[in-house]
């Protein structure tokens, strides 16, 4: 089975590292087993990719790149592991062509901006028909390329190594809040006693 991969190539044209996408899009890049026979009868347009097995940091000299592909941007707990593991720059490559000219392109960009802010990393984003951007560690846009246009640009960014609380510990605080909220739902509520 093929992989959906990001390949880092040296200036001399040699492969330096590869990351295979781990979180595949259901019914786009793979068909869940219970639906395989049914979907195959309806359409041959679904992908048949295999998921990658590990998060890999790609080496760029002394730096480490955390590359996540398309739909993986919606998993904050997944992306944070790149920063926690030593990535000093985040990169997102995405096929946003299937969104057309809808608001989904902007929604996807906003999701990616959150990943930059959560991990306090510069994030470089390259898309085919989406919004190609340079995003700073606060999630602000520094540069966009025009949509639906084949283009290249130079941009500035920094490599950062500090690890945020979120990168290090993940979603424990929201989970704790959820558990406490559920706990309070089951506490007995007694009306105040009336004075006689």
- Residue 52's domain is classified under what CATH number? 3.60.110.10
The reply to whether 165 falls in a domain is yes
The reply to whether 175 falls in a domain is no
The reply to whether 187 falls in a domain is no
Check: CB of residue 13 under 8 Å from CB of residue 62: no
Joined tokens for residue 174: 């929201």
Check: CB of residue 105 under 8 Å from CB of residue 96: yes
pLDDT single digits (tens) 11-48: 999 999 999 999 988 877 877 777 766 665 445 556 68
The reply to whether 163 falls in a domain is yes
How many structural domains comprise the chain? 1
The reply to whether 196 falls in a domain is no
The reply to whether 106 falls in a domain is yes
pLDDT single digits (tens) 97-140: 777 788 888 899 999 999 999 999 999 999 988 889 999 999 99
Whole-structure pTM value: 0.84
Joined tokens for residue 124: 């470089």
Owning domain of residue 79? 5-170
């Amino acid at each position: 089975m093929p992989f959906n991969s990001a390949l880092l190539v040296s200036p001399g044209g040699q492969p330096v590292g590869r990351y295979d996408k781990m979180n595949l899009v259901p019914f786009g890049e793979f068909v869940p087993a219970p639906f395989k026979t049914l979907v195959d009868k309806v359409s041959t347009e679904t992908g048949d990719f295999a998921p990658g097995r590990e998060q890999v940091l790609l080496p760029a000299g002394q730096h480490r790149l955390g590359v996540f592909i398309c739909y993986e941007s919606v998993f904050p707990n997944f992306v944070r592991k790149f920063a926690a593991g030593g990535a000093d720059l985040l990169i997102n490559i995405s096929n946003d062509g299937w969104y057309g000219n809808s608001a989904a392109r902007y929604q996807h960009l906003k999701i990616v901006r959150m990943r930059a802010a959560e991990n306090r990393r510069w994030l470089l984003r390259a898309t085919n028909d989406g919004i190609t951007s340079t995003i700073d560690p606060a999630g602000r846009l520094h540069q966009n390329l025009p949509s639906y246009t084949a283009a290249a640009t130079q941009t500035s960014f920094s490599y950062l190594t500090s690890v945020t609380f979120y990168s290090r510990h993940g979603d424990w605080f929201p989970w704790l809040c959820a558990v406490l909220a559920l706990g309070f739902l089951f506490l007995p509520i007694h009306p105040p006693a009336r004075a006689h």
